[in-house]
Each structure stands twice: as C-alpha cells, then as structure tokens.
Chains A and B, each alone.
Chain A
C-alpha cells in the first residue's frame, strides 16, 4: 500500500472513504494529489474475476450439491445466490472507494 504524503508527513492510506476524503481535500487546496492504492484496483478486479470463475464452475460447484436446507432454503441455489451476492459486494467495495 502506498502512503499518502501530506505536509511532509506520511499517512498510510489503504483506500476507502478516508482516503477519498484526503484526496479531495488535497484537490481543494490545490496540492499535488498523493498516490493512493488505486493502481491496485485493476489487479484486484482481475483476481476477483478469477475467483468468481473458479467458485462458479467445476469442481467447486459440486460442494453445494447436497440435499440439505439452510433456513428452509435448499443448499444449492442458496449457495449460488450467496456467492453471487458476495462477488457483487466485493466489486462494489473495490469500485466505490476509488477516488474520482
């Protein structure tokens, strides 16, 4: 992770809302925008894609093929929807923390 540099001090910036706020504060004060971990977003998304492809295909799919119910829902569709929702959540988290 690259730290934000402001006023001669290094502030570790791991992205997220705080990082976005710092970056926009720097923009407002016409300071040089410090480096963030935004360059990592591309590789992270690629890794998430690979993870999604693996989770939703042979052979990991078979993990959920059991006649079991979770809170009354059959395991297979419940697991597929849960993986799906998880992918979307991580994607949203990765993209929304990017500064504009």
Chain B
C-alpha cells in the first residue's frame, strides 16, 4: 500500500502539470504559434475516447470474456476508414455554420428547431451521466486499492459527506470549471484544452504500456510463457477461444462493433475534439489512421494483463474476475513495485480526467446554448442585458458541477453493483440514438424537424425502457419482476424481450429496437409531410456542403433589419473585437468604403446569425435575430428561387473563372507570338544590314572604278580593260545577290517555277564539278568524285539540283584550308531514294552554329567576320531539297571537317511544305 498523502499529492501535481500544458498552449496560440494546428496533436486528442473504462475495464472484460474487449476498438477503426468522407463533411458543415455541439448540429440541420436542440441535450445529459459515474467509480476504487493494506475488505459505503468518491467528483468539477470556461468570450475553440487532452492521451498510453510490459516480462518470462501457462489451465484456455465452449453470439459482436462505430463520432466529447476543435480538415488525413493505431497500441497488453492477473492471484483475494477491473494497479502493487503502481494510477486518473473534462465541457455547452439560453432569452430582463458573456460562463460552470454531482448520484444509485464495461455500454447506446438524425441529415434532403423529433423520442424512450430501467432495477432499486415478467405481468412488454423477441443479449436487443424505431420514424414522419421552406433551406446547406462549386452560398432569409440593431446584438454576445472582424469581412464583401456604409441585406443578417450560433447555439441565434429584424416568412417557392439564384451565381462565377483561364492561355500565346515577331524583326534587320553591306561593296568598287575612268580619259587601254573586267564581275556579283534574294522570297512564298525532268544525278554531279573547277583551282583544293556507275533517273528540276550541288561545293571550297583542300562528293542510291554527301577537310562548323546555319536570315561566322557569300545559299538549298520531299542536313561533327548530306526520295510524295527553320539541324 501507498501513503494517502503521496497518492493525493502525486495526483494534484499531475493535474497542475496539465494546467501548465494548457496555459502554455494558450500562450503559444496567443503568440500565433499554435501547437494544436498539428495532425498528431489532433489524433492524440481523439484518444480521449479511451477513458477509465478502457484503462481499467478492458482488462476486466478480457478476464471474463476473452477477446470480447475488442469490438469497442474495432468499431472505431472501421469508422475511421470512412472518416475521410463522413467526418470531413461534418467538419466542413460545422465550420460553415459555426456549430459547437452535436445538439446544435442536429437542430441546425432540421430548421434550427429549439425543441430538437433541447431533446438532443436531454438525451446527451441522461446518457452521459452513467459514463461519468463510471469514471468516478474507477478513480475512487483505484484510490482505495492503492491506499489500503492488501487483503483488507472493501469498506461499506459511508455517509455521503465522508465518501471519497464525492471528493473526487468535486475536485474534477472544480478542475473542469477552471479549465474549460476560463475565457470570458465563450467562443467555440479551446486550444489549451486540446493540448492538455493530447498530453493526457500520451500519459495514459505510456503508463499502460509500461505496466503491461513490466507484468509480461517482469512477472512472467515474456508473452509466450504467459500464454503457455494460461493455455495449460482449461478455464483460462477457454478465454482464448471465440465462444468459450458455447455458440459464438455473432449478433452481439456485430452490435458492439456498430455501437462503438457510432459512439466514436457521436459521443459529445468525441464530437467536440473531432469536429469542433478541428483546426484544419487536412489533419483528418493523418489522424484517421493514427487514432486507430493508438487504439491498437493501448490494447496490446490487455490480454496479457488479464491472464497474468488471473494466474497471479489464483485463489487469493483481489483475484478472479471480480478483481480484474483493477489488475492494472493490483499486479504491480502485489509484485512490490509501488512506484509502478503509482504510475499506473496516474495513467488511470489521466484517462478519467480527460474524459470528464471534455465530456462535461461539451455537455455544458449544449445545456447552456440549447436548453437554458433559449428559455432565458424569453425573459425581458435577460434579453435586455447589455453583455451576456458572464451569464453564459456562469451557466456553463453550474452545468458542469451539476453533471458531476449527477454522476455521483448515479454511482451511489446503481454503480456499485455493476462492472465498468456495462455502465459504459449504456451510455454508448444512448448517444447512438443521434446517428439517424445526423447521418440522414447529412446525406438526405428530405429529413424534417418532425421526423427527427419522432425518431429521437422513440429511440430515447426505447433505450430508457429496454436498457436503462432494467439496469437500475437489477441494482436493487426496483422490483425486478418488472424485468422478468413485464410491467403488470404483460409478457409481451418485458423490457429485455420486447414483443417476445428473444435470443439476444439485453444490449443488442435494446440497440436493435431503439435504432430501428429511431431510423424508421425519422424516415416515415419525414416522408409524411413536405419540408417547410426553412427546413428545405437548411437541408440544402448541409447535404450540399461537400459539393465542389463556386464560393457562392445561398442565403435563405428575407426581411428588413437595421445595421445598428445587428451591431448591438453582435456586441452583446461576441464582444467588440469579433464584432469588428465580422463587420470588416462584410465591408469587403459588399464593396463599400467602411462599416457605417454597410447595407443590412440578407447576407449580412445571415453572417451575424452564424457567428452568434458559435456563441449561443443555432436555435438561440435564430431567436435573437428574429427579435431584432422584421422577417418575412419564406415559402418553399422562395427557397427554390433563392437556390436557383445561388446556383446561377455559381454557374456565372464558374463561367467567369473558365473565361479567365482561357484569356490567360490566349495572353500567353500572344506574348509568345509577340516575342517571336520581335525576334524575326531583329533577324530581318540583321539581314538587311548584311544585304546592304553586300550590295555596297561591289557598288563602291564599280563607282570608284567608273569615276577613275571618267577622270582619266587618256587611261591606258589595258588598264581600262582590267577595270572594266572588274566592273563586269562586280555587276555579276550584284545580280547574283539580287537573284538569290528574289529566289528565296519566291520559294518561301510558293511562287517559284519548278521544271520537271528526268535527272541523271551522276551526270549532274560531274557538271557541277566542272563548274566549280576554277574556284577550286584558285583555292588550290582537289575534288574527289565518288559516283556510282549508274543510278535510276530521278524526277526533279535539274537546274535547281545543280544549284544545290554548286552551293554545297562552293561552300566547301571556301571552307577548306588554302593550298591543301580536299573535298569529296559522294552519291549512292538505295531503295528509298538517292543520297548525296559533300565532305571537306576544313575546320567544320562550330557547335554553337550548327543549329543556325540553315536559318534563313543567318550566316555562319561571327558578325564581324562573315565568310564570303550572301548567307542565303544553304537556306535556299534546303528549301529546294525539301520541295522534292527530301532532307538536307549537317552530319554530326567527326572532327574531320564539315559533311553535308542530302537525301532525295525516288518519288516525292507531292510537294511538301518546307519544314520550319532550325528544327532538324
């Protein structure tokens, strides 16, 4: 045993540590460096699902039923498989509508009904009380076990004022009040709370794993040894089979799985951390698998602890199924590890406090917003108070205290006799009643307020009759004949075998009937009457929340309001800061200069109402706005018209976006075309400069010589003859240049004249060789011809082909070194056509020029060192070859000079347009 002071001191120190975490997180949030905006923290906060029930009760369940502790965790895993779709939609809706609780969600969906919000709150309170009792029981019995000598009998419950459980309840209530209702503005998110809950999840997981590992490896020689010893005993071995010797009740297994699936989303505390406290919906992506992984880890040592406890305490006090709920504490204590036992207790305390704090805050928000405020706001004295923030906090604090005292009362009433797990399941079955209204409401537009009310009443009633009442009766407070024989002896109404439906355990039986009646009435009553305009409008906002559309949301409101009234309303509930933010956002939306110029139109009224809903709940917000605005009733036709308008707007905005995208593409194309034009313009300028240069050189020579001859009439005849020869040569050069420019222009424009004749290419090659002979001789170069004896005739224009050959040969002649030039002209044919090659032993074409030499307005060589010629020969040659369906290319550089290659097909497939310049070189 441990000293009471030590255990209490450690517990208080732990709770203070939690405060520290919460305060730290809130300071960080205020400084803009939130720790909560993180998928891991979000996932850990979801671990609040594992309450003291998990921590202590799972081991108890495993000790009596083997694998039966698992469905409660397999269900949430299955639910999280759908979280990415379902939970994300819930988060989106809650964000758009400023929803702060599950009661608000259901009421807001079904026409902002105050009655519905109140009913959901009532179910939540009644359903959650046993669950809180469970936490109190766990902490109190744990505390008792740790601080009394081993083997001492449990004391009879003393008077209420001396009861340790009451103390636990009061401490937890105080802690929760300070924790969850510290801020003066009652806004919807609690960053500090989430951080503290995430820390608690970590503590309880680590504590449970450490205890599990210590028992498995410290008290036994590992899991294999533990299981081997358990399997050696028939009654323990039976725990490790499905049915434990009987037929396995699959229906109950499925019912538990489904129940846990629903609870993990619809328990008020789960809805709080998963939906309300969600910072960013993308966090769901990671949390959806981290949370099930957390559940798996925390369950890893449940079976070893259960079997280990049963083996260890065999035949002793504290053993057996009765003591199994506390094996987590009693095993380390009995093994002589008091420190570990204290750690285990802190883990259990962590599990219990986390659950109580979040659950109480969530339920208190519901009670305040959906039950108390709508009633209070009807009183003129309350409705006219200038600021209501303090009143809201007071109501919440009172609710928290009341809730924990109710939990204590339930514990005194019914808790002593029941195992932890069966208490928890009663609560699970209560919150499962929210499922039809929530899920139908999110995915079916036809659900109405009346349908939801009917379904919830029926489900809640059947839950109370078939599950809650027998549980209370069995704990000795009631005549059990009511359970075994039915009320007034009517057997058909026996609560655990309603209408004679037998063969099911009480939980499955109650769950089946209540959910059947709930969902059935929801659908049936909804279908009995067309939804009202308000209901239809809300349904659209919820069901279509997921649809990808434009930013436009329909506004279902019509009436008249004053800006001053709306502003005053917002100031009372939201305070000056948030009111200013709210109105500023609207200024941008309406496109007016400042807040004073805002028009109180429907969108503004809607925005104020939605923001108010975050503080006082959707139903109360509706009431307050209706008080300050003169509203006109909407008919269903109006809603449809507004929806049409909204979808028209959405279509228009989509069309606008598409148009913008198209314009952007067109602009990009235009810009590219413009750049290309500018480039062409520059090339043209270069070319003009080059051409005028080429024209001016011969012209200058001609003019100079002509002037000389004019100035000297008695010039010697040989001299005159020489000058005239030069003038003629320069004129020829001019003619050639002008011809080439014209030629290229004609070919490019498609106006060139093409002759068609049968061409003997080898003969043409020899003719070309003869023609360039003088030039070669001048350069001291030799030309080698490598021609086949005969080639089939080619259908083409011989003059043009000669032009190509001459151009290639003269280019080569200009490129080879003076006096030592070697040029080779090769021709050969194949199946496709004829190939030609002109190879020289010059320096070759520099790498950076290879792509340019075929361009129309470019010339090889640098600007200040242009080779002789016009720079048009190659482009013209390429155009000619292309005209006959062939290709003229520069062979890859081999370091032995330049090698131009052309290929002409035997049968040109019609005259193809020339390829764009520069894409094949």
Contacts and interface: CB of A to CB of B under 8 A. Distances in A.
B231 A57 contact: no
Given A57-B253, A69-B227, A69-B231, A80 B296 contact: no
A57 B237 CA distance: 22
A91 B80 contact: yes
Nearest to B85: A42
Contact of B231 (A46, A74, A85): A74
A67 B250 contact: no
Contacts of A84: 74, 77, 292, 296
A87 B85 contact: no
A67 B77 contact: no
A73 B227 contact: yes
Contacts of A41: 84
A96 B289 CA distance: 9
B81 interface: yes
Contacts of A53: 78, 257
Contacts of A91: 80-81, 288-289, 292
Nearest to A53: B78
Interface of B is mostly: helix
A76 B289 CA distance: 23
Interface string A40-61: 0110011011001100111101
Interface in A46-100: 46, 48-49, 52-53, 56-59, 61-62, 64-65, 67, 69, 71-74, 76-77, 80-81, 84-85, 87-88, 91-92, 95-96, 98, 100
Interface of A is mostly: helix
Contact of B289 (A80, A92, A100): A92
B171 to A, nearest CB: 36
Given A74-B227, A76-B241, A62 B254 contact: no
B722 interface: no
Nearest to B303: A77
Interface residues of A, number: 36
B242 A88 contact: no
A97 B227 CA distance: 39
B715 interface: no
Interface string B70-81: 100010011011
B228 interface: yes
Interface residues of B, number: 38
B224 A73 contact: yes
A95 B288 contact: yes
A51 to B, nearest CB: 9
A91 to B, nearest CB: 5
A81 B301 CA distance: 11
Contacts of A61: 242, 248, 250, 253
Contact of A57 (B223, B257, B285): B257
Interface string B237-265: 10011110000101001100100000000
A96 B288 CA distance: 10
Contacts of B237: 67
Contact of A45 (B82, B241, B248): B82
Most buried by A among B85, B282, B289, B300: B289
B568 interface: no
A49 B242 contact: no
A67 to B, nearest CB: 7
Given A58-B254, A69-B231, A74-B240, A80 B70 contact: yes
B67 interface: yes
Nearest to B299: A81
A85 B81 contact: no
B84 A45 contact: yes
B255 to A, nearest CB: 11
A98 to B, nearest CB: 6
Contacts of B224: 69, 71-73
B81 A76 contact: no
A87 to B, nearest CB: 6
Contacts of A81: 296, 300
B242 A95 contact: no
A20 to B, nearest CB: 12
B250 A57 contact: yes
Contact of A72 (B81, B84, B223): B223
B85 A96 contact: no
Nearest to A89: B289
B286 interface: yes
B777 interface: no
B293 interface: yes
A88 B254 contact: no
B77 A52 contact: yes
Contacts of A65: 241-243, 248
A42 B83 CA distance: 10
A8 B293 CA distance: 42
Contact of A96 (B241, B286, B292, B293): B286
Nearest to A56: B74
B248 A56 contact: no
B78 A52 contact: yes
Contacts of A87: 77-78, 81, 292
A28 to B, nearest CB: 18
Contacts of B289: 88, 91-92, 95-96
Nearest to B237: A67
A52 B653 CA distance: 42
A42 B546 CA distance: 13
Contacts of B250: 57-59, 61
26 contacts: A42-B85, A45-B81, A45-B82, A45-B84, A49-B82, A52-B77, A56-B257, A57-B254, A58-B254, A65-B241, A65-B242, A67-B237, A67-B241, A72-B223, A72-B225, A73-B223, A74-B231, A74-B240, A76-B241, A84-B74, A84-B292, A88-B296, A91-B81, A91-B292, A95-B285, A95-B286
What 4 A-B pairs are tightest by C-beta distance, nearest first?
A: A72-B224, A58-B250, A92-B289, A49-B81
Given A57-B257, A74-B240, 8 more contacts: A52-B81, A72-B225, A72-B228, A76-B66, A80-B74, A81-B300, A95-B84, A95-B286
